[in-house]
């Protein structure tokens, strides 16, 4: 597999910044939380959907597959769909409104979504099934899945991790959003997952730690992964919950809280003032 051309990353940085603003405006408009989780995966989504994935979200037979195992970050996924034209602005704005297919989690029938999610711990297994079947067919398509760090509390994640390594699923890439925060506290206080990298390595995965808010680092890791041959690959993307908005960053309550008009304005101003890509 030839690595995709490394064009300047300004397009991805612009995509990230736009998605971040869309997350704020839309969660404010829809009055739905999970803002912090969506903000922590913005750069991951930008790199995947802006550069790495080939044909994902379409019905092309040899497309790459993406499984959002941490389904509660779906708002960031919908932002990527909007950026790529998989959904239009009007559809995007139905997010979490009555009758929408754009719920808090990706659902069956949501445009661009192959696998619905919402119950943590199940996406990696489905990704394994996709990857195993695609290999069997001689397909060159790849399967990507995004997990949360707290999701790794679920035993099924490690059942799937064992399977992927045993079957040498080198067409499978998992990304873990390591923001260190779970529903009731910091991961290290609730159920310590450290050292995360060594755990995945001991389960037989090739693992890389990257700054999950740095498009260049993410892209380099994923491109390196495209040509690796031994087995499954995991990118441990170190991030901050609520990244990009000072009063949300690394603050547990932004798993849950909704924005007031004042806070939404403040957040958008901060995003707009961030360095021009």
Determine if 129 is a binding residue for other proteins (CB under 8 A).
Answer: yes
Determine if 170 is a binding residue for other proteins (CB under 8 A).
Answer: no
The answer to whether the beta carbons of residues 58 and 90 sit under 8 Å apart is no
The answer to whether the beta carbons of residues 255 and 36 sit under 8 Å apart is yes
Determine if 187 is a binding residue for other proteins (CB under 8 A).
Answer: no
Name the residue among 141, 150, 30 with its Cα closest to residue 79: 30
- Considering only 124-132, 206-214, 235-243, 250-258, which stretch makes contact with other proteins by CB under 8 A? 124-132
Instruction: Name which position in 58, 119, 211, 228 contacts other proteins (CB under 8 A).
Output: 119
Q: What is the DSSP string of 37-80?
A: HHHHTHHHHHHIIIII-SSTTS--TT--EEEESSGGGHHHHHHH
Interaction residues for other proteins, span 144-163 (CB under 8 A): 155-156, 159-160, 162-163
- Considering only 134-142, 178-186, 206-214, 226-234, which stretch makes contact with other proteins by CB under 8 A? 134-142
User: Total binding residues for other proteins by CB under 8 A?
Assistant: 29
Query: Closest approach of Cβ 170 to other proteins, in Å?
Result: 16
- Strand-pairing partners, residue 172, are 143
The structure tokens listed for 99 are: 């009758």
Name the residue among 92, 163, 73, 97 with its Cα closest to residue 124: 163
The structure tokens listed for 138 are: 């001689």
What letter would DSSP give residue 253?
A: G
- Considering only 76-84, 92-100, 130-138, 194-202, which stretch makes contact with other proteins by CB under 8 A? 130-138
* Residues binding other proteins (CB under 8 A): 108, 114-116, 118-119, 121-134, 136-137, 155-156, 159-160, 162-163, 166
């Amino acid at each position: 597999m030839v690595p995709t051309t490394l064009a300047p990353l300004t397009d991805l940085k612009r995509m990230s910044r736009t998605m971040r603003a869309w997350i704020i405006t839309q969660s404010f408009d829809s009055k739905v939380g999970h803002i912090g989780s969506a903000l922590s995966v913005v750069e991951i989504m930008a790199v995947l959907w802006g550069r790495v994935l080939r044909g994902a979200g379409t019905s092309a037979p040899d497309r790459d597959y993406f499984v959002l195992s941490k389904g509660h970050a779906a708002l960031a996924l919908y932002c990527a769909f909007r950026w790529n034209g998989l959904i239009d602005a009007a559809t995007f704005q139905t997010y979490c409104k009555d009758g929408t297919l754009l719920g808090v989690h990706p659902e069956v029938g949501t445009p661009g979504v192959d696998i619905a999610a919402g119950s943590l711990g199940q996406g990696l297994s489905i990704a394994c099934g996709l990857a195993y079947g695609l290999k069997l067919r001689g397909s060159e398509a790849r399967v990507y899945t995004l997990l949360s760090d707290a999701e790794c509390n679920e035993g099924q994640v490690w059942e799937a991790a064992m399977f992927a390594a045993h079957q040498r699923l080198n067409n499978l890439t998992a990304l873990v959003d390591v923001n260190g925060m779970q529903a009731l506290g910091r991961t290290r206080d609730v159920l310590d997952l450290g050292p995360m990298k060594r755990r995945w390595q001991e389960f037989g995965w090739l693992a890389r730690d990257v700054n999950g808010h740095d498009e260049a680092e993410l892209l380099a890791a994923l491109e390196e992964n495209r040509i690796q041959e031994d087995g499954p690959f995991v990118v441990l993307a170190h991030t901050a919950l609520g990244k990009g908005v000072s009063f949300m960053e690394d603050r547990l309550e932004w798993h849950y809280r909704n924005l007031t008009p004042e806070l939404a304005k403040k957040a958008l101003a901060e995003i707009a003032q961030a360095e021009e890509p």
